Amino acid sequence: MLEAYFDNNRSASLTAKQLHIHVNTLYQRLKKIEEKMNISFTNSEHLLKIQLVCYLKKFHYS
C-alpha cells in the first residue's frame, strides 16, 4: 500500500482508486502506519526514510 501511495506522488484519491478502496479507508490505514511506526507523513525526514525503504524493497528484491 505504501508503495502505491508513493508511486502516485502521495495522492490519496489516485492511490485509493488504484487499490480499489475508499479514500477514507486509505487515510485510516495511513494513520495506523503512522501510529505503529511512530512517524508522521508530514515530517519530511520521516517521508524520505519511508520512500527510501519502499524504493530499496522495490528495486533490490526485483
Question: What is this structure's pTM?
Answer: 0.83
pLDDT at position 18, please?
97
Burial environment of residue 26 by CB neighbours within 10 A (0 to 12, 13 to 18, 19 or more): buried
pLDDT at position 62, please?
61
The model's pLDDT over 10-60, given as tens digits with 9 standing for 90+, comes to 999 999 999 999 999 999 999 999 999 999 999 999 999 999 988 898 888
